[in-house]
């Protein structure tokens, strides 16, 4: 992937038309640099999922452009976009979305099969080992705990070595301890492999594992924090939720750098 990573330039996404139209994203410009971990936070309805869907090529902006590793998604046909998503983008969701009839290793191998590649058993086993599940390859999802299922989902998302991994509340369905294990794995892929991650979360502790937290309010960027502790992120969210009508900050005002504590992962 190019140094730019993922770029959103003046992305607007409107749903519906006329008086019932909703502007979910309003002229959003952001860069998620290669090899960095970004959390996206904001009040309910602020546009987080829409941002993720547009950045991942699952949805098309009404205007503006999205570029992943130098390829402009907004210029691609549906077929090319599907191929790009399959080859270069990984997803983990709150619901693990594993296929119940397949074993852990078959689930992990699925993206390679879909891409027409023959999965090598050693490669699949290694992916499972990296998430600490080398001994569970033959288990089906119902035989695994929630945290284990999410780790299988993570191995599946990473098996194609995607340019970017998108997470939509990936720890939302997990208890806090299991969630932290998954966050530590995410953090590890960034630190060890230079993986690029963009994760939507409501949880300040999860967000504190990221290098940077971008805040959205009413479809617009309302500041960001770098290397922030969970308490500072929570305090920033409380301020945003208390003043949803506040004007967006300028980029320089938005970069708040007063974060004392280390992340837990
Ligand atoms: N398909 C759609 N049709 C119409 N409106 C939509 C659609 N998808 C999202 N919206 C609206 O766009 C706005 C942003 O929604 P989005 O799901 O991106 O917010 P969010 O920040 O992810 O919310 P939450 O934290 O509650 O999941 C909301 O007002 C929502 O109702």
Q: Specify the 3-state DSSP secondary structure of 174.
A: coil
- What separation in Å is there between the alpha carbon of 59 and the centre of ligand 1? 12
Whether 145 is in the pocket of ligand 1, judged by its Cβ within 6 Å, is: no
User: How crowded is the C-beta side of 73, counted as CA atoms within 13 Å?
Assistant: 30
- Residue 28 pairs in a beta bridge with 11
Tell whether the model's pLDDT for residue 203 goes beyond 60: yes
Mean pLDDT of the chain: 89
More reliable by pLDDT, 175 or 211: 211
CA distances from 40 to 50, 121, 124 (A): 11, 35, 30
Tell whether the model's pLDDT for residue 164 goes beyond 80: yes
pLDDT at res. 259? 45
Reference 167, options 142, 181, 150, 180; nearest CA is 150
Q: Specify the 3-state DSSP secondary structure of 213.
A: strand
Out of 49, 170, 172, 206, give the residue to mutate to test ligand 1, the one with the largest number of ligand atoms within 8 Å of its CB: 49
pLDDT at res. 257? 45
- Band (194; pLDDT cuts 50, 70, 90): very high
Helix 104-114 to helix 146-158 angle (10° resolution) is 30
Secondary structure tally for the chain: helices H, strands E: 9, 11
- What separation in Å is there between the alpha carbon of 44 and the centre of ligand 1? 8
pLDDT at res. 261? 43
Tell whether the model's pLDDT for residue 174 goes beyond 80: yes
Whether 71 is in the pocket of ligand 1, judged by its Cβ within 6 Å, is: no
More reliable by pLDDT, 2 or 76: 76
Distance CA 234, CA 229 (A): 9
Reference 254, options 226, 224, 216, 211; nearest CA is 224
- Band (260; pLDDT cuts 50, 70, 90): very low
Reference 105, options 130, 129, 128; nearest CA is 128
Tell whether the model's pLDDT for residue 91 goes beyond 50: yes
- Band (252; pLDDT cuts 50, 70, 90): very low
What strands, in cross-sheet order, belong to the sheet with 6-15?
22-32, 6-15, 63-68, 71-72
Q: How many CB atoms lie within 10 A of CB 162?
A: 22
pLDDT at res. 152? 95
Q: Within 194-245, where are the H helices?
A: 204-207, 230-242
How large is the average pLDDT for residues 168-183? 88
Tell whether the model's pLDDT for residue 173 goes beyond 90: no
- What separation in Å is there between the alpha carbon of 8 and the centre of ligand 1? 18
Q: Whose CA is nearest to atom 16 of ligand 1?
A: 47
pLDDT tens per residue, range 100-151: 999 999 999 999 998 888 889 999 999 999 899 999 999 999 999 999 999 9
Query: Percent of the chain at pLDDT above 70?
Result: 90
pLDDT at res. 181? 86
Query: Percent of the chain at pLDDT above 90?
Result: 73
pLDDT at res. 96? 83
Q: Whose CA is nearest to atom 7 of ligand 1?
A: 15
Helix 146-158 to helix 176-193 angle (10° resolution) is 20
Ligand 1 atom with the smallest distance to the CA of 25 is 14
Q: Is the dihedral of CA 164, 170, 171, 174 positive or negative?
A: negative
Ligand 1 atom with the smallest distance to the CA of 13 is 12
Tell whether the model's pLDDT for residue 95 goes beyond 90: no
Domain 6-228 in this protein, CATH class: alpha beta
CA distances from 242 to 237, 238, 239 (A): 8, 6, 5
Distance CA 234, CA 53 (A): 25
- Band (264; pLDDT cuts 50, 70, 90): low
């Amino acid at each position: 992937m190019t140094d730019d990573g993922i770029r959103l330039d003046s992305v607007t996404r409107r749903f519906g038309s006329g008086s019932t139209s909703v502007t979910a994203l309003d002229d959003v410009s952001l860069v998620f640099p290669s090899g960095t971990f970004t959390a996206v936070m904001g009040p309910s309805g602020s546009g987080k999922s829409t941002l993720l869907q547009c950045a991942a090529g699952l949805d098309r902006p009404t205007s503006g452009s999205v570029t992943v590793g130098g390829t402009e998604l907004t210029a691609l046909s549906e077929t090319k976009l599907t191929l790009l998503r399959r080859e270069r983008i990984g997803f983990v969701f709150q619901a693990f979305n594993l296929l119940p009839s397949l074993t852990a290793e078959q689930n992990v191998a699925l993206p390679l099969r879909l891409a027409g590649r023959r999965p090598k058993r050693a490669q699949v086993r290694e992916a499972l080992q990296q998430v600490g599940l080398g001994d569970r390859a033959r288990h089906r999802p119902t035989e695994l705990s929630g945290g284990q299922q999410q780790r299988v989902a993570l191995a599946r998302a990473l098996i194609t070595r995607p340019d970017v991994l998108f997470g939509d509340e990936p720890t939302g369905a997990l208890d806090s301890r299991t969630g932290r294990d998954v966050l530590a794995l995410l953090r590890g892929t960034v630190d060890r492999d230079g993986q690029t991650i963009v994760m939507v979360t409501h949880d300040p502790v999860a967000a504190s594992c990221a290098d940077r937290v971008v805040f959205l309010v009413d479809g617009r960027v309302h500041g960001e924090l770098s290397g922030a502790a969970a308490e500072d992120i929570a305090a920033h969210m409380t301020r945003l939720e208390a003043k949803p009508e506040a004007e967006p900050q300028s980029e320089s005002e938005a970069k708040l750098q007063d974060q004392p504590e280390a992340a837990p992962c």
